[in-house]
A and B are shown apart, each in its own frame.
Chain A
């Protein structure tokens, strides 16, 4: 139509809200998973049974899957520097340091001498923490691409 604007050619200042919501690139499905009611319930039973089986076997040492991709092998790997193991080590280390400090305090009270320095174990603990997390962060995550 003649004379009608085709663009918003305004170059003034503007408040712009950037879109922050994810928009699916897909159009709606013609059918839903509830259109396959029997199959849905069968899938549910299958999923539940398999999970139950995996829960039963979780008490025994897990075996890495025989096949699968490299990522799967990586994911199923259980390295020694896993987070719980590191935390356990750190807790033990801190416990040892505390024990050492208590012993040193007791000795100082008995000898009535100067209190032994406690900086050295603390620094040692800090080095241990940074080293542990260093090992943790040095691990390269899998790249599914």
Chain B
């Protein structure tokens, strides 16, 4: 027993009592709707009883819906409070301003105690060990897509979760040869987002260390100081072609002045902010701070880029030994777990893209997603953002599904308007709705169609043609250098089961159900069943058992779901099987020696109306599922027969 009793909340208890009362009332209405005989004293009691039962049933439904919606609303509210952006404490900023950047004053890696020693040239090159690493870090932050020459992303959807494995190939700026170590910003997660199961490795799969938040912020502060010093004083020192320390030290007596310190701390505040940040207001703030900053345009441009990049994301910075760099190229791998959200079109506009929800509002397909979820089937479509393509010169995405699946459809689309990306698209600024299908959030517009007979250095993409494989391969080039960029593009892949799959199971079950229903119907119709015999009922129950087993066994250990049609067919088979048992128990002969009925309308010898209906339904179920199974089989075979061609350039295969 805990020492502190939970406090009794009267309002909460009243709510519970009210819900209990409503549930009791609903249960009473439900029982009343199933009961009969209580109105027999009234004239026309059958009519009154039927009306009363319908009324009780409706009341029970209304109360059940009320309780359901109330509970659902409560569950939906049980969420953590949204993360807000938070400014750092002034003390933390002070420590950034002094302690953080003090590291760069040390002479060498071994001497970073910042004991006030003069930063004497330790290698005879006029610079300390930290100049190159910090300068390279700053350059990599400001010029992301230029130095990330290739990014290969693999997303596995084979287990319960999605696992992202990324290989980043850097082309380091010159000067890396003089560095004793390197700070490489590998990943730029948006502030406020957690990175799950993150592992950082080099090309030999050896683990790499990465900086903590505070270390990264200090590094960012050092980079900021370096860029701020890029201004006029440095220009004067550079133009004098004398960059020996005494000159700079002399100049430093006037730099930075108080106004510049204030600006620097303002910018540091933005860098050290925690939590999600809106980029557009942040851009305006940075511009306001830099507006009265008396430095040349080049420095101002560098500062603008640098601060914006770091105030929106916490870069994960790997510390790398330059010995693994060859010719300026270094390869870093990382791995993390992605959390996909299951979105259905009928779930409302709050989850799915607006265009998708709008189109689905009045369509039959609106319920398909809900049916799939309701039947315990996981989504068979996967949408993966390709934002890494905008941070690299060359980008590969491989989306791997389980081996039991093949790619049925693959599209490169805009996540806002669902339009397929075409080679003629160019980037545009958001905020203006372009065309009848675009949205205000879209960052693309139609450009000039590329021609085969002219030179073109624009962005380029290609999807591997479908050959019945279980993965999507997308190649993109030049999207990181586009100006402006096309944001929020995604790959949408739809996977199907490799035949025979669950459709064959459903077809076999439907066939067995159909045969048994027709046979039992024929025997009942022709009085060939032994009186009081239970064997037909037992036999008719078999398809229901088989359907249940297939339904349970088909969806284990797979993130990508199976066939909705097969699941529906299995359910129909099971329901028909149970309906046949009930029909048999109600229509089975109880006496022997009856003569067969006179010739009348029959279906395969079945003359009993209830059995004809059951046989027809079962037959339709079997024929349709078998037709769809054959269709898929032929489609898959056609995919397998496709030849490897190169005619699919820029084509959505």
Contact = CB atoms under 8 A, between A and B. Distances in A.
A144 to B, nearest CB: 5
Nearest to B265: A75
B189, B230, B281: which has the most chain A beta carbons within 10 Å? B230
A17 B338 contact: yes
Interface in B120-144: 126-128, 131, 135, 138-139, 142-144
A134 interface: no
B17 interface: no
Contacts of B341: 15-18
Interface stretch (A22-30, A89-97, A125-133): A22-30
Interface string A28-58: 1100111011111111111111111111101
Contacts of A144: 87, 266, 269-270, 285, 289
B89 A83 contact: yes
Contacts of B235: 39, 42
A13 B230 contact: no
B510 interface: no
Interface in B202-255: 225-231, 233-235, 237-238, 241, 243-245, 247-249, 251-253, 255
Nearest to B487: A23
A122 interface: no
A139 to B, nearest CB: 9
B258 A66 contact: yes
A39 B93 CA distance: 27
B225 A47 contact: yes
Given A21-B387, A49-B249, A27 B485 contact: yes
Contacts of B119: 45, 48-49, 52
A47 B105 CA distance: 8
B605 interface: no
Interface in A1-19: 4-19
A14 B285 contact: no
Interface stretch (B43-51, B96-104, B467-475): B96-104
Interface in B369-400: 369-370, 372-373, 378-385, 387-388, 390-391
A45 B131 CA distance: 9
A145 interface: yes
Contacts of B244: 45
A28 B266 contact: no
Given A46-B248, A58-B98, A7 B418 contact: yes
Contact of B484 (A8, A25, A66): A25
A69 B127 CA distance: 34
A60 B400 CA distance: 62
Given A46-B255, A53-B252, A5 B391 contact: no
Contacts of B368: 11-13
Given A22-B189, A23-B390, A51-B101, A71 B241 contact: no
Contacts of B262: 65, 67-69, 71-73
Interface string A91-119: 00000000000000000000000000000
B114 A55 contact: yes
A45 to B, nearest CB: 3
Contacts of B452: none
Given A11-B345, A44-B226, A74 B90 contact: yes
A123 B274 CA distance: 33
A26 B302 CA distance: 11
B345 A34 contact: no
Contacts of A8: 409, 411, 413, 418, 420, 492
Contacts of A76: 90, 265
Interface stretch (B32-40, B359-367, B528-536): B359-367
Contacts of A41: 126-127, 131, 238, 243
Contacts of A11: 345-346, 356, 359-360, 363, 365-366, 368-369
B409 A40 contact: no
Interface stretch (B75-83, B304-312, B518-526, B570-578): B304-312
Contacts of A4: 652
B22 interface: no
A34 B195 CA distance: 32
Contacts of B98: 51, 54-55, 58
A17 B356 contact: no
A124 interface: no
Contact of B261 (A46, A72, A74, A145): A72
B143 A29 contact: yes
Nearest to B489: A19
Given A29-B142, A42-B238, A43-B234, A50 B256 contact: yes
B158 interface: no
B229 A43 contact: yes
B230 A40 contact: yes
Contact of A7 (B126, B298, B382, B437): B437
Contacts of A82: 91
Contacts of A9: 359, 418
B93, B119, B243, B305: which has the most chain A beta carbons within 10 Å? B243
Contact of A47 (B94, B229, B308): B229
B170 to A, nearest CB: 13
A46 B234 contact: yes
A67 to B, nearest CB: 5
Contacts of B189: 20-22
A88 to B, nearest CB: 13
Contacts of B383: 14-17
The 8 closest A-B pairs by CB, nearest first: A68-B262, A72-B262, A45-B248, A22-B313, A65-B258, A49-B252, A13-B369, A11-B345
14 contacts: A8-B492, A15-B379, A16-B342, A21-B387, A22-B313, A24-B308, A24-B391, A43-B227, A47-B228, A51-B102, A66-B258, A68-B263, A144-B87, A144-B285
Interface of A: 4-29, 32-34, 36-56, 58, 65-69, 71-77, 82-84, 141-145
Given A11-B345, A50-B229, A83-B91, 12 more contacts: A7-B413, A12-B372, A15-B383, A17-B382, A20-B193, A27-B481, A27-B482, A33-B227, A40-B226, A48-B105, A49-B245, A55-B105
